[in-house]
A and B are shown apart, each in its own frame.
Chain A
Amino acid sequence: MHRLIVPSNVAAQDDPVHDALGYRFTVRAHHPDVRSHLMVLFAGLSAVGHAEVDPLELDATDARLSDRLVALMRRINIAAVGAAAGSLLLHAGAVARPDGGSAILCGQSGSGKTTLSVRLAESGLYYLTDEAVSLSPVTLRLRPFRKPAVVKAGAQQLLCHLRPQLDAAADGTWLVPPNAFDTTPTPDRPLLPRLLVFPTFTPGAGCAVEPLSEADAAYLLGKESSRLGEVQGGALPALARLARRAPAYRLVHGDADLAVRAVRSLLAAA
């Protein structure tokens, strides 16, 4: 069999259930090594209960396992975004302090979100996600999406110590489980935004931080949002609420260590 299939809506009792922003799924694999690998990859997405679970299956095919896993992750991301419709969905990474105060790192692909999210987690902050931040449009509470970090080729030199056992996918991507870089206990308080950072990675640049107006922040958040038209209560009120709640900064960096230090400093002061 050479496909990723989705059979009827019945999960086996022993398949762990995962939750990705409200999309609940299990992944079945027949090979025990693959099953173990899946458990490690998705350990950050554990869920309770078995209602409305989408059973996915990862069959053995000629394709590389890493390629099949990347395809699986892409499918889960899409389903997660769909399940979170109505929330304020940002193309962003996020980390949190022990008190739940969170920094949202918002930017386009290549801006350094994943590298910053992972390095900040390694420095002692709680990893929330590296790609998709979901917030309640009213309370602004963040919903964690502790998916495997998707480390692209450009970031692998900085994160070489996290190289997975599996070979990289055909596009050079690594999937790195959260427990490889985050050992911080889960915050016991609600996760609320306290800092907005819009990073841009520029090779050779040091680290420059520039405060942004609320209007600029709301605009940049909106430009990096998914399904803006479906936000409950309206897109603009939610964006305005978030921009007024947390101070915002543009961060131009070419050095991850300096960038991590800057974000930690800003979050500590927020």
Chain B
Amino acid sequence: MTPHVRVSRGRRFELVEMVEMVEMDGGYLFYDGTDLRLLAGQAAQVYARVDDVATADGIADSLAAEFPDQAPQVRADVLSFLQSLADSGLVGVLTPLPEAGYARAGGVGSVRDGDLTLLVNLDDGQRRALSPSGLRIWELACERGYASVIVAALQQEYPDAPPSLAAEVQVLLDDLVDQGFLLRGGHEPAGTAPSAL
């Protein structure tokens, strides 16, 4: 977790209706009855991504992906700016969504084939090849992990992981659920999920 962000990584933000806002070519203008404020340029891009659903990390990751050479700095700047938006009352902070846990589906086996691992659903014959990183995600998910816990573990194991890690993990988990290799189960509030390791 980025130290200077008080909120959890899963924290979501909502637009605040008490502040009058108009979207214009070039940015957003706010008026609270006393102060007039303008968000333009990259600040406007951050604000535009606040939608009650996207998390702080998700917003930071999506913008950092647009500047791969400066991704860590962009990510840190975005998280800091989101905090300042919350501090100034232009966005509200929502409690994190409940997070679904994952479990291995019944009847699923695996076979190692060189660098790849082949998942096989013995019930319907569905197969899925996993790379070494995909295998690690699978292993963490099977230990009844939660997406946030999986991502945290991977970031510890791979400090150079790309900014888009959380999004890529979620894509793979969703695919494995859709293909029947994983089950998405009971919910725990984000931030309280047990460690999978």
Seen from chain A, the residues whose Cβ lies within 8 Å of a Cβ on chain B are 213-216, 218-219, 222-223, 228-229, 234-237, 239-240, 243-244
Complex Cα gap A88–B144 (Å): 61
On whether the beta carbons of B31 and A214 are closer than 8 Å, the reply is no
B22 at the interface (CB under 8 A from A): yes
Complex Cα gap A216–B26 (Å): 7
Distance (Å) between the CB of B141 and the closest chain A CB? 44
A214 with B20, Cβ < 8 A, contacts A219-B36, A219-B38 known: no
B24 at the interface (CB under 8 A from A): yes
Complex Cα gap A239–B30 (Å): 11
Task: List, in ascending order, chain A residues with CB within 8 A of B34's CB.
Answer: 229
On whether the beta carbons of B26 and A237 are closer than 8 Å, the reply is no
Q: Which of B21, B24, B28, B44 contacts A243 (CB 8 A)?
A: B24
A-B contact pairs, 16 of them (CB 8 A): A213-B40, A215-B28, A215-B29, A215-B44, A216-B38, A222-B29, A222-B36, A223-B36, A235-B31, A236-B20, A236-B21, A240-B24, A240-B29, A243-B24, A244-B24, A244-B25
Q: Which of B20, B29, B33, B44 contacts A218 (CB 8 A)?
A: B29
On whether the beta carbons of B29 and A219 are closer than 8 Å, the reply is yes
Complex Cα gap A29–B29 (Å): 48
Distance (Å) between the CB of A245 and the closest chain B CB? 12
Complex Cα gap A243–B26 (Å): 11
Task: List, in ascending order, chain B residues with CB within 8 A of A239's CB.
Answer: 22, 29
Distance (Å) between the CB of A129 and the closest chain B CB? 23
Distance (Å) between the CB of A212 and the closest chain B CB? 8
A228 with B29, Cβ < 8 A, contacts A234-B20, A235-B20 known: no
Distance (Å) between the CB of A108 and the closest chain B CB? 15
Complex Cα gap A35–B29 (Å): 48
Task: List, in ascending order, chain A residues with CB within 8 A of B21's CB.
Answer: 236
| Chain A to chain B: the 5 pairs with minimum beta-carbon distance, closest first | A213-B26, A215-B26, A215-B27, A219-B38, A215-B24
On whether the beta carbons of A213 and B22 are closer than 8 Å, the reply is no
Complex Cα gap A218–B31 (Å): 11
Which residue from chain B places its CB closest to the CB of A222 in the assembled complex? B36
On whether the beta carbons of A215 and B31 are closer than 8 Å, the reply is no
Complex Cα gap A237–B26 (Å): 16
On whether the beta carbons of A236 and B29 are closer than 8 Å, the reply is yes
Complex Cα gap A216–B24 (Å): 9
Q: Which of A214, A223, A236 contacts B26 (CB 8 A)?
A: A214
Distance (Å) between the CB of B115 and the closest chain A CB? 51
Task: List, in ascending order, chain A residues with CB within 8 A of B22's CB.
Answer: 218, 236-237, 239-240
Task: List, in ascending order, chain B residues with CB within 8 A of A215's CB.
Answer: 24-29, 38, 40, 44
Complex Cα gap A30–B26 (Å): 57
Task: List, in ascending order, chain B residues with CB within 8 A of A222's CB.
Answer: 29, 31, 36
- Interface readout for B152-196 with A: 1 if CB under 8 Å, 0 if not? 000000000000000000000000000000000000000000000
Distance (Å) between the CB of B41 and the closest chain A CB? 10
A216 with B40, Cβ < 8 A, contacts A236-B20, A239-B29 known: yes
User: 10 extra interchain contacts, Cβ-Cβ under 8 A, other than A235-B31, A237-B22?
Assistant: A215-B28, A216-B26, A218-B22, A219-B29, A219-B38, A222-B36, A235-B36, A240-B24, A240-B29, A244-B25
Task: List, in ascending order, chain B residues with CB within 8 A of A244's CB.
Answer: 24-25
Considering only residues 1-52 of chain B, those with a C-beta below 8 Å from chain A are: 20-22, 24-29, 31, 33-34, 36, 38, 40, 44
Complex Cα gap A263–B25 (Å): 23
Complex Cα gap A243–B44 (Å): 18
